Structures are given as structure tokens and as C-alpha cells.
């Protein structure tokens, strides 16, 4: 048996490590096109900010570690240019061919330049690899830019804006759609706008940038551009090999993370996963999902039996110290998915007033027909991750609003209010159901 994994970051390494656990004797090779493996891509904005001092701190494991500790061969600078599935071979750029019995495709995604003219100018950066972040940090140090335009208000866009602002730059974010954070949600967008503007970052939604000039982008004067307008899954070699794509144009898999080709698995930012709220495929590329789906792909590719039941779409992003967390669907997304949603939004203190709490916003979205919770938003300095995770658990458990309202949540003045904001939101939602 030989397992080949294409891609040496989150999904690929999770797959390889899990495969080793399942089969101690399996020959496992990981092929990574870049110079390093196992880096925390989500940490790049904090390296740009300067909070993380060295890019190398973002590297979790080295190829040597995998070789020695896991007996997994990891090759960097090994770009796969095609998959010859009938012969069970991958072909490297060098011409070398490597045989596999089972294959895990974890080729990730790449920034989408949206065909913007000038995207390759020297003052234009993406934040996708360690190299990207080091180049940007070097540019900040050497060129001392004063005005930045960030194209795209997804997670990386707002994190980059936060990082650049903390470095003293004037920052404008330009977003094509009317909403931020990849979520159709005017209330969330308004809250993010409020927080960005309170910290001097200008947010312009509904504005497309067609061209980047040396001293401006989309007509906004600047000497630095961060391109974070979206992702495109790296699926070309898979598609050429006959791997089928889903409607999102990422790779379609079953719940074992197997593609339409037997023995070929896919996971991570190149693949769809099941959305547990709708039980339909979704493309929501995130590191947590990559790790989980990668583990499942690796287990099955090594002869184990594992299922990935899917995600509910949970994420959080920090903007100048405030967490903006979402799970499931917003009202507008829920409508688009065919629900008849109803929502309640409250603001409440995270602790008793006498102890000095901070305010947090909670929005819950339910399906009117079934009374089932299908989404939520939590915004706050304090406990946003914990609260969104409670909602995420409820979505997975298909909890009704009345069940959620009865949750036995922890209370003590230093940590929580007697009625947690989650429960106040549920009580409010019960009135409208």
C-alpha cells in the first residue's frame, strides 16, 4: 500500500498523520509545492501586525518531524502537475512520477485576483503564504507606506486592515458586495462597519475595483494594496484527472471524503463538505474544517472507516479586540436556503452590572415551520467564541428554540450573568415564534 497526499498544510498533514495511526506500515508521501509545510495561515495577519515576531513561529511542524516521528515522507518544492489516475500516478513538475494506491487531494485554494488589472504590481500583496506575509512585512519596514487599500472584506481583509491600522497606516477596505465576512447580513455588516470606523478604518461596500494603479486602487490614493477578495479552490489537476466538482466548483466528496474516483479523497480548501443545517454540500474553506475532513480522508485512505458528518459554518474574527462570530445562516442566507426564518437580536451584559460586565450582541435565527435554530451571531469583547460554540452545538443537535431557552449555562459574577445573553435572545425569539 502507498498513500500519496498532495498538499502539506492543514488538511494534507492531518490526513497523513491520521493515516499513519490507522496503518503503522503504510508508505505515506506528502507532496508540498511550497518551501514549507504546516504553517498557520490564520496567523499571517498577526505576523503583519508585528504581534508575532518571526514568520517561523507560525510553522508548527517540519518535514524532519514528520519523517522522524511519524515515518511520513514529506517533500517540499514538489509541485504536482497532473494525476494519471488510470495508472495510479501523480506527475511532478520535474517529470518524476510517483505511484499511489490511494490519493488524498489537499491542494487548498488560492487568492482570487478577480481579473483586476495591476494585481501583480510590486505594492500589491496577498496574505496566503508565509512568503506573502514576509514580503508585506518587509515592504512595511522598507517603504513605510502611509495609505493602504484592502480589497475584500472577508476574514483576511478585515484582519489585514486591523493589522495595518495598528501599524499606523490609513486604511480603506473596498468590498464588492453589500456585506462583509462572506455573510449576507446587513446587521452584521453595520456592526463591523461601526467597529472599523471607531478605529479609523474606512469601509466601502458595493464598490468594485477594476484596476490597481501605482498610486491608487479603484481611484483611492494608496501606496499599498492587500488583495483579499476571495478564494478559488485549486482543483485544476483534479478536474483534468476526472474528479467531479460540486456546484460551488470545489471538489465534491461523499461523507468519507472520497471523490467520484475510487481511492481518491479530497479535503480542505479544495473540497466541499456537508452543511449539517441543510444537509447539502457547501464550500466554506476554514482551517478547522480542513483538519477534521483531512483526518477523515486520511483514515479512509489508510483502510479505516471514518465519516465526516459536516459543518454548521462556525467562524469568528477579531476586529480591534471585538469578536464577530457567526454560525449557521443569517436571515437572508436562510431565506436563500429555502427556510422561512425568524430572528431575535438582543444586547445584554456578559456579567452582573455590579461586577462590571461588557455588552454583547446575540442574534438567533430559527426556522418558523420547525422552530429549529438555524443560525446565530455573537458580537462582543468577552466570550463571543464560547457563546457561538454553544449555538453551534445546538445547530448540530438540531435543537428547537424552546430547548435552547432551557440550557443550563454556568453562572458566577466573574464569568457570566444570571440570564446569559444567549438565553435572553432565546426568550426574545420565543415571543416571535
Residues recognised as catalytic: 42
Helices (H), 167-240: 186-198, 236-240
Dihedral-angle region of residue 207 (phi above 0 means left; psi in -120 to 50 means alpha; beta otherwise) = beta
Question: Please, what is the minimum distance in Å from the beta carbon of residue 86 to a copy of itself?
Answer: 35
Beta carbon nearer to a copy of itself, 80 or 311 = 311
Question: Please, what is the minimum distance in Å from the beta carbon of residue 42 to a copy of itself?
Answer: 6
What's the rounded Cα separation, in Å, for the pair 244 and 102?
17
Question: Please, what is the minimum distance in Å from the beta carbon of residue 66 to a copy of itself?
Answer: 17
Residue 270: phi and psi, rounded to 5, are: -95, -5
Helices (H), 167-247: 186-198, 236-240
Among 25, 262, 305, 353, binds a copy of itself (CB under 8 A): 353
Check binding of 416 to a copy of itself (CB under 8 A).
Answer: yes
What's the rounded Cα separation, in Å, for the pair 11 and 272?
13
Q: What is the CA radius of gyration of the chain?
A: 23
Per CB under 8 A, which region of 36-44, 98-106, 108-116, 187-195 contacts a copy of itself?
36-44
What's the rounded Cα separation, in Å, for the pair 41 and 46?
10
Task: Provide CB contacts within 8 A for 325, sequence distance 6+.
Answer: 314, 315, 316, 317, 377, 378, 379, 384, 385, 387, 388
Query: Which 3 state secondary structure label does DSSP give 394?
Result: helix
Check binding of 384 to a copy of itself (CB under 8 A).
Answer: yes
Among 118, 246, 303, 352, binds a copy of itself (CB under 8 A): 352
In 3D space, the residue among 294, 335, 288 whose CA is nearest the CA of residue 315 turns out to be: 288
Count residues contacting a copy of itself (CB under 8 A)?
65
Considering only residues 96 through 155, tell me which ones interact with a copy of itself, judged by CB under 8 A.
155
Three cell numbers written together for 167: 501599524
Given a contact cutoff of 8 angstroms between Cβ atoms, the answer to whether 364 and 391 are in contact is yes
Check binding of 389 to a copy of itself (CB under 8 A).
Answer: yes
Beta carbon nearer to a copy of itself, 286 or 334 = 286
Check binding of 363 to a copy of itself (CB under 8 A).
Answer: no
CA 319 to chain centre: 16
Per CB under 8 A, which region of 28-36, 81-89, 174-182, 283-291 contacts a copy of itself?
283-291
Check binding of 10 to a copy of itself (CB under 8 A).
Answer: yes
Question: Please, what is the minimum distance in Å from the beta carbon of residue 87 to a copy of itself?
Answer: 36
Draw the binding track, 56-95, toward a copy of itself (x: CB under 8 A; -: no contact). -xx-------------------------------------
Draw the binding track, 292-331, toward a copy of itself (x: CB under 8 A; -: no contact). x---------------xxxxxxxxxxx----x-x-x----
Among 287, 303, 332, 371, binds a copy of itself (CB under 8 A): 287
Check binding of 192 to a copy of itself (CB under 8 A).
Answer: no
Cα distance from N-terminal residue to C-terminal residue, the chain: 56
Helices (H), 114-255: 130-143, 155-166, 186-198, 236-240
Among 289, 349, 360, 377, binds a copy of itself (CB under 8 A): 289
Beta carbon nearer to a copy of itself, 145 or 313 = 313
Check binding of 52 to a copy of itself (CB under 8 A).
Answer: yes
What's the rounded Cα separation, in Å, for the pair 22 and 300?
9
Check binding of 185 to a copy of itself (CB under 8 A).
Answer: no
Task: Provide CB contacts within 8 A for 340, sequence distance 6+.
Answer: 367, 368, 369
What's the rounded Cα separation, in Å, for the pair 18 and 21?
5
Among 4, 217, 387, 425, binds a copy of itself (CB under 8 A): 387
Q: Tally the C-alpha atoms within 13 A of residue 67's C-alpha that lie toward its C-beta.
A: 9
Beta carbon nearer to a copy of itself, 230 or 376 = 376
Which residues of this chain interact with a copy of itself, rule CB under 8 A? Answer: 10, 40, 42-43, 46, 51-52, 57-58, 155, 276, 286-289, 291-292, 308-318, 323, 325, 327, 352-355, 383-390, 392-394, 396-397, 399, 403, 406-416, 418-420, 422
Amino acid at each position: 500500500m502507498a498513500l500519496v497526499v498532495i498538499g502539506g498544510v492543514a488538511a494534507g498533514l492531518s490526513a497523513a498523520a491520521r493515516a499513519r495511526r490507522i496503518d503503522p506500515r503504510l508508505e505515506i508521501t506528502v507532496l508540498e509545492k511550497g518551501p514549507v509545510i504546516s504553517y498557520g495561515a490564520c496567523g499571517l495577519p498577526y505576523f503583519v501586525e508585528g504581534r508575532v515576531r518571526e514568520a517561523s513561529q507560525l510553522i508548527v511542524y517540519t518535514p524532519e518531524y514528520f519523517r522522524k516521528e511519524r515515518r511520513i515522507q514529506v517533500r517540499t518544492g514538489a509541485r504536482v502537475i497532473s494525476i494519471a489516475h488510470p495508472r495510479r500516478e501523480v506527475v511532478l513538475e520535474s517529470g518524476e512520477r510517483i505511484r499511489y494506491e490511494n490519493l488524498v487531494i489537499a491542494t487548498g485554494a488560492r487568492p482570487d485576483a478577480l481579473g483586476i488589472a495591476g494585481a501583480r504590481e510590486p505594492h500589491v500583496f496577498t496574505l496566503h503564504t508565509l512568503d506573502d506575509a514576509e514580503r508585506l512585512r518587509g515592504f512595511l519596514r522598507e517603504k513605510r507606506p502611509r495609505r493602504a487599500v484592502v480589497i475584500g472584506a472577508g476574514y483576511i481583509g478585515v484582519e489585514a486592515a486591523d493589522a495595518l491600522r495598528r501599524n499606523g497606516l490609513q486604511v480603506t477596505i473596498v468590498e464588492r458586495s453589500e456585506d462583509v465576512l462572506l455573510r449576507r447580513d446587513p446587521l452584521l455588516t453595520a456592526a463591523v462597519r461601526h467597529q472599523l470606523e471607531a478605529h479609523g478604518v474606512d469601509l466601502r461596500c458595493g464598490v468594485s475595483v477594476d484596476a490597481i494603479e501605482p498610486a491608487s486602487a479603484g481611484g483611492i490614493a494608496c501606496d499599498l494594496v492587500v488583495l483579499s477578495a476571495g478564494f478559488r479552490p485549486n482543483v485544476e489537476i483534479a478536474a483534468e484527472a476526472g474528479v467531479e466538482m460540486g456546484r460551488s466548483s470545489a471538489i465534491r466528496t461523499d461523507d468519507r471524503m472520497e471523490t467520484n474516483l475510487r481511492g481518491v479523497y479530497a479535503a480542505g480548501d479544495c473540497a466541499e463538505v456537508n452543511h449539517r443545517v441543510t444537509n447539502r454540500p457547501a464550500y466554506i474553506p476554514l482551517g478547522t474544517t480542513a483538519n477534521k475532513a483531512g483526518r477523515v480522508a486520511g483514515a479512509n485512505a489508510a483502510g479505516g472507516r471514518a465519516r465526516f458528518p459536516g459543518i454548521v459554518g462556525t467562524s469568528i474574527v477579531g476586529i480591534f479586540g471585538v469578536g464577530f462570530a457567526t454560525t449557521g445562516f443569517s436571515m437572508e442566507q436562510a431565506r436563500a436556503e429555502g427556510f422561512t426564518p425568524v430572528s431575535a437580536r438582543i444586547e445584554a451584559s456578559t456579567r452582573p452590572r455590579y461586577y462590571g460586565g461588557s455588552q454583547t450582541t446575540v442574534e438567533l435565527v430559527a426556522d418558523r415551520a420547525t422552530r429549529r435554530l438555524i443560525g446565530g451571531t455573537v458580537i462582543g469583547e468577552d466570550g463571543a467564541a464560547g457563546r457561538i460554540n454553544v449555538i453551534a452545538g445546538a445547530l448540530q443537535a438540531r435543537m428547537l428554540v424552546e430547548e435552547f431557552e432551557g440550557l443550563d449555562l454556568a453562572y458566577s459574577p466573574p464569568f457570566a450573568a444570571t440570564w446569559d445573553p444567549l438565553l435572553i435572545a432565546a426568550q426574545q425569539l420565543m415571543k416571535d415564534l
